[in-house]
């Protein structure tokens, strides 16, 4: 299967990562579905991709361990001949006012959201094939500055700052690097701990008057990863329905 275009999708068992893995499978990619702990959910995604005629497999591991980044690329090469696309959708979010934030939670947030991005990017720089792409993830809250999001926004701001640097460091490789910054999106991560009233209030804020759906974000990733989006490079794209 050396000629197959292959995508590695972290956080591929749930939410935006799941929707992205399914979309890329429909687009003809072989998909490595990365997951942290729930293999059963990842295997459900694999089964759905394969039921639609595609190729996929699940590969697990805690991205706080940099060896997992290498493992995901090893799996892609062994199973599908190489990797063309890295989508780093896995993330950690802890909400607390800065004054009350447990610094151990801060460390864990930076391990998963920042350190893992560097570890995966190192593998991507070395191993993505020509014509490939990296799609990283931030959040529109970087600009919206909601209270209690300090740790999460600080970690995602680091990803945004890294994006154009990575793009420039890949000069001559024909590999693009972009970051998608979703607004409020109906995922388990977003909905957890929010009341129905809070969810409805957030849903009314964008001019389109709804929450984003994981499939909305998957379409953006597919565009950036495909030939139509290959001239977009080093950018952070805020996919949030106009929420500013």
Q: Span 49-60, mean pLDDT?
A: 96
Check whether 19 has a pLDDT greater than 60: yes
Q: Has domain 6-184+214-239 been given CATH number 3.40.50.880?
A: no
| Helical packing angle, 116-127 and 150-169, nearest 10° | 20
Check whether 1 has a pLDDT greater than 70: no
Check whether 244 has a pLDDT greater than 50: yes
Mean residue pLDDT across the chain: 95
Which pLDDT score, from 0 to 100, does residue 240 have?
95
| Residue 229: C-alpha distances to residues 27, 70, 125, 235 (Å) | 14, 27, 19, 11
The model's pLDDT over 55-111, given as tens digits with 9 standing for 90+, comes to 999 999 999 899 999 999 999 999 999 999 999 999 999 999 999 999 999 999 999
Domain boundaries in the chain? 6-184+214-239
Which pLDDT score, from 0 to 100, does residue 3 have?
61
The model's pLDDT over 171-223, given as tens digits with 9 standing for 90+, comes to 999 999 999 999 999 988 788 878 999 889 989 999 999 999 999 999 999 99
Is the pTM of the predicted complex or chain greater than 0.75? yes
Higher pLDDT, 195 or 117: 117
Which pLDDT score, from 0 to 100, does residue 194 have?
85
Which pLDDT score, from 0 to 100, does residue 157 have?
98
Take residue 17 and report the two structure tokens written for it. Answer: 């990562």
Check whether 128 has a pLDDT greater than 90: yes
Which of 29, 35, 149, 152 is catalytic? The answer is 152
State how far the Cα of 110 lies from the Cα of 106, in Å rounded to an integer: 6
Contact 162, 110 (CB under 8 A): no
Q: What percentage of the chain exceeds 90 in pLDDT?
A: 90
47 Cβ contact list (under 8 Å, min separation 6): none
Which pLDDT score, from 0 to 100, does residue 191 have?
82
The three-state DSSP-derived secondary structure of 213-227 is CHHHHHHHHHHHHCH
Angle (CA) 126-173-34 rounded to 5° is: 45
152 noted as active-site residue: yes
């Amino acid at each position: 299967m050396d000629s197959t275009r292959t995508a590695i999708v972290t956080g591929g068992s749930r939410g935006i990562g799941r929707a992205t893995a399914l979309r890329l499978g429909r687009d003809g990619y072989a998909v490595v579905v990365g997951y942290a702990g729930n293999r059963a959910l990842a295997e459900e995604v694999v089964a759905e991709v394969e039921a639609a005629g595609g190729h996929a497999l699940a590969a697990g591991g805690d991205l706080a361990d940099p060896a997992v980044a290498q493992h995901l690329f090893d799996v892609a090469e062994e199973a599908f001949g190489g990797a063309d696309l890295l989508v780093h959708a896995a993330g950690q979010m802890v909400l607390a006012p800065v004054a009350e934030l447990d610094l151990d939670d801060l460390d864990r947030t930076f391990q998963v959201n920042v350190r893992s991005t560097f570890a995966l990017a190192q593998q991507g720089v070395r191993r993505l094939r020509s014509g490939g792409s990296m799609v990283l993830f931030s959040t529109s809250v970087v600009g919206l500055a909601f209270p209690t999001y300090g740790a999460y926004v600080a970690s995602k701001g680091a990803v945004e700052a890294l994006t154009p640097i990575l793009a420039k460091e890949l000069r001559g490789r024909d590999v693009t690097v972009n970051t998608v910054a979703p607004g409020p999106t109906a995922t388990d991560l977003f909905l957890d701990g929010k009341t129905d009233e809070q969810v409805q209030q957030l849903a009314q804020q964008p001019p389109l008057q709804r929450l984003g759906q994981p499939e909305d974000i998957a379409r953006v990733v597919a565009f950036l990863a495909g030939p139509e989006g290959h001239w977009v490079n080093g950018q952070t794209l805020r996919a949030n329905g106009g929420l500013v």
